[in-house]
Amino acid sequence: MCGIVGYIGPRDATPVILAGLKRLEYRGYDSAGLAIIEDGRIKIRRDVGKLSQLESLVEESPVSGNIGIGHTRWATHGEPSARNAHPHLGMTGDIVLVHNGIVENYMELREELSAEGAVFNSETDSEVIVHLVERYLSTNGNLVDAARNALSHLRGAHGIVMISSKEPDKIVAARIGNAGGVVVGMGEGEMHIASDMPAILEHTRKIVFLESQQIAVVTRQGLDILALDGRTIDYQVSSVSWDPVSAEKGEFKHFMEKEIHEQVRSLTETISGRIDFRNGHSIRLPELNLTQKFAQDIRKIFITACGTAAHAGMVGKVLIEHIARIPVEVDIASEFRYRDPIVDENTVLLAVSQSGETADTLAAMEEGQRKGATLWSIVNVIGSQAMRISDGYISMQSGPEIGVASTKAYTAPLVDLYMLAILLGDLRGTLDRKSRQKLVDDLRLLPDLAGRCLDREAEVERLARELIHVNHCLYLGRGINMPTAYEGALKLKEISYIHAEGYPAGEMKHGPIALIDREMPVVVIAPRDPWYEKMFSQIEQAKARGGVVIAVATDGDQTIADIADHVLWVPHTPWLLSPVTTVIPLQMLAYHIAAQRGLDVDQPRNLAKSVTVE
Ligand code: F6R
């Protein structure tokens, strides 16, 4: 979704901003632009399409200066076009800004401002903000105060960054609610600003996160943070460790392929340091701040998330209910926030989010917090809003995930949820020492098992070749692997644009069975888990109707081999961990189908990496 980059310092801002925007390309966008103050005047370059388009524009018509802002836009109001691309310039030509989020009352503001004489040059909601700032500048002449006044009119969530040619010594930024983050990077004699850390980490690791309802005033020398009423606020500088090189594709054609292969490492990192071998294989999750008393008092856990993260949550429900015997409900975040859920102080709201910035998930967390729940989160991006507002968190340890389709950030939280279930079971006394040791020993096998799934990529690729022309695909799973069916279908549809549906296998006979014919492959997740026998009968039902069955099955399962048309083999995995191994061939299948169809795997159409609008 939209990305923001800003720079002030001794260097030429243009290449710094372009490089920053490049680092944010993975978020998904449809147009890009930048504004630089050159010789006291604001110069804008912007266009629809990829960043390379903007780079060519800058090459043909160079701009340079020591202060500037840039933006990649994911259209919400107004089609993707050069005039709707950010930055947006005010009528005086002195103010320019970029914006993430949605101005919910923009129609009303647009009418009001038009009546005052404002002329709009775009169809965006964002343009009202620049006119509002100008309205207040014309009366009190100070950018920070004008910005504060303008913000008081906006409904919705926003990240806004602006500069003025009349005050070329500063960048003014604001964060209202959860429309993505605003981070300030403190350099040596220079300052950076961005919506996301990857844009600036090559310049500095000293980061300040702006909270909601705060304004940042960034100059070459430093940073002031103000509340909306103008009070100065103290802030903390965090030191962030992250390796920009890991955001390169290396030997792989796409980030998604690289990230699928990184799962052995990410699972290892997820486990490492979290098992206390000297203390009877107990689990350590210190950032959760969980006491035995609180663990025993929990009556219910709501897991809330969106998309792939919600599928991880569904596996988590089975794990926590089975191991720790706590009732768990899984709620899609966009539903939870509006359905008046029954929550009290013995409820935990556990959010799962790769980015930690998904607007719906953050809103669900806020709703849970308002009603008195304890907030936990499982998050990949360190320092993200979800992590910051939680009472306790587990960090995924996956490293940056760049491909829009989530892969390693799906399997890591499965392991986090498994460890959480063990810890809760331990503290609540539902797990004896021997069972705990067995669960932990199983966990240690996992990275190797994942590696053995990856070793079979060539077979998956061969099958992908046979499937590249299909139009529809049904995925069936049951029990702990029902979410695997959902996730396999989501992976296929989002990157290959093939219609795919995930279904609880037992529901097939209640409707979807009508769809089955030779044209509709049925992917059946049937490892040796407690639902195996049941899955076997689903395969027979599909075969009896002429369906082409692709089974995900455990090595050596001759019965499945005899009945299915194709088998994607996985090594024998303890059933509570089986969703980790069964999903890997499905990730690879979706990847190879999309890659063989020649599609933009890492940035599928219409999708964004972190969805910061409602
Ligand atoms: C699909 C995918 C999305 C995300 C969803 C939530 O591959 O990546 O469905 O899982 O948008 O994002 P996060 O985890 O950042 O909250």
For residue range 559-578, list pLDDT tens digits in order. Answer: 999 999 999 999 999 999 99
| For residues 306-325, average pLDDT | 98
Pairwise CA distance, residues 209 & 464, whole Å: 43
Question: So what's the pLDDT on residue 10?
Answer: 97
Q: Which residues contact 516 (CB under 8 A, 6 or more apart)?
A: 474, 522, 542, 545, 546, 547
Active site residue 293: no
Distance 513 CA to ligand 1 centre (A): 29
Task: Give catalytic status of residue 534 as yes or no.
Answer: no
Residue with tokens 């706590």: 326
Model confidence band, residue 300 (pLDDT cutoffs 50, 70, 90): very high
Higher pLDDT, 279 or 335: 335
> What's the pLDDT at 244?
52
Residue with CA at minimum distance from ligand 1 atom 7: 405
Per-residue confidence (pLDDT) for residue 243, from 0 to 100: 58
Q: Which pLDDT tens digit goes with each residue over 498-524?
A: 999 999 999 988 988 888 888 899 999
pLDDT of 328 over the 90 cut: yes
Angle between helices 457-467 and 578-596 (to 10 degrees): 50
Q: Does domain 2-246 have CATH number 3.30.70.3000?
A: no
- What is the whole-number distance in angstroms between the Cα of residue 564 and the centre of ligand 1? 32
Q: 168-182: buried (b, 16+ CB within 10 Å) or exposed (e) per residue? A: bebbbbbbbbbbbbb
Most informative mutation of 354, 414, 417 for ligand 1 (most atoms within 8 A of CB): 354
Task: Report, as an integer, the average pLDDT of 270-295.
Answer: 90
Asked whether the predicted pLDDT for residue 260 surpasses 90, the reply is yes
User: Residue 603: its pLDDT value, please?
Assistant: 83
Cis upstream peptide for 87 (omega within 30°) = yes
Q: How many CB atoms lie within 10 A of CB 342?
A: 10
| CB-defined site of ligand 1, < 6 Å | 306-309, 353-355, 358, 361, 405-406, 490, 494, 610-611
Neighbouring CB atoms inside 10 A of 140's CB total 10
Alpha-carbon distance of 101 to 305, in angstroms, equals 20
pLDDT band at 546 (very low <50, low <70, confident <90, very high): confident
Q: Judging by DSSP bridges, how do beta strands 300-305 and 328-332 pair with one another?
A: parallel
245 pLDDT more than 80:
no
Identify which of 246, 253, 67, 80 has the alpha carbon closest to the alpha carbon of residue 168.
67
- Cα first-last separation, the chain: 12
pLDDT at 492: 98
Give 29 Cα–ligand 1 centroid separation in angstroms: 16
Average pLDDT score over residue span 229-242:
88
What is the 8-class DSSP label of residue 249? -
pTM confidence score: 0.81
Position 242 scores a pLDDT of 61
pLDDT, tens only, 576-596: 999 999 999 999 999 999 999
473 pLDDT band (50/70/90 cuts)?
A: very high
Mean pLDDT score, 3-24: 95
- The DSSP code for 391 is S
Q: Which of 183-192, 524-533, 600-609 has the lowest mean pLDDT?
A: 600-609
* 3-state per-residue secondary structure call for 564-610: CCEEEEECCCCHHHHHHHHHHHHHHHHHHHHHHCCCCCCCCCCCCCC
| Catalytic residue of the set 2, 306, 453, 473 | 2
Top CATH class, 457-596: alpha beta
Annotate 131-150 with DSSP letters as a single string: HHHHHHHHHH--HHHHHHHH
What is the model's pLDDT at position 222?
92
Instruction: Give the pLDDT confidence score for residue 186 in this predicted structure.
Output: 96
CA dihedral sign, ordered 558, 563, 568, 572? negative
Q: State in Å: Cα 362 to ligand 1 middle.
A: 13
**Fold of the domain spanning 249-453:** Rossmann fold (3.40.50)
**In Å, what is the CA distance from 301 to each residue of 59, 251, 290, 321, 423?**
55, 42, 14, 10, 14
- Mean pLDDT in residue range 95-104: 93
- Note whether 249-453 and 457-596 share their fold: yes
Helix (H, G, I), strand (E, B) or coil at 294: helix
Residue nearest to atom 8 of ligand 1 (CA): 406
String of DSSP letters for 452-491: HHHTTHHHHHHHHHHHTT-SEEEEEE-GGGHHHHHHHHHH
For the CA of 404, the closest atom of ligand 1 is: 8
Q: Which sequence spans correspond to the domains of the chain? A: 2-246, 249-453, 457-596
Window from 31-45, 167-181, 542-556, 598-612 with minimum mean pLDDT = 598-612
Over range 309-332, report the average pLDDT: 98
| Span 388-445, pLDDT tens digits | 999 999 999 888 898 989 999 999 999 999 999 999 999 999 999 899 999 999 998 9
The answer, yes or no, to whether residue 141 has pLDDT greater than 90, is no
Q: Supply the Cα-derived Rg of the chain in whole angstroms.
A: 25
- The whole-chain average pLDDT of the chain stands at 93
Residue 180's closest CA among 163, 198, 204?
198
What mean pLDDT do residues 361-388 have? 94
Q: Which pLDDT value is given to residue 47?
A: 93
Classify residue 303 as exposed, middle or buried by CB count within 10 Å of its CB (0-12, 13-18, 19+). Answer: buried
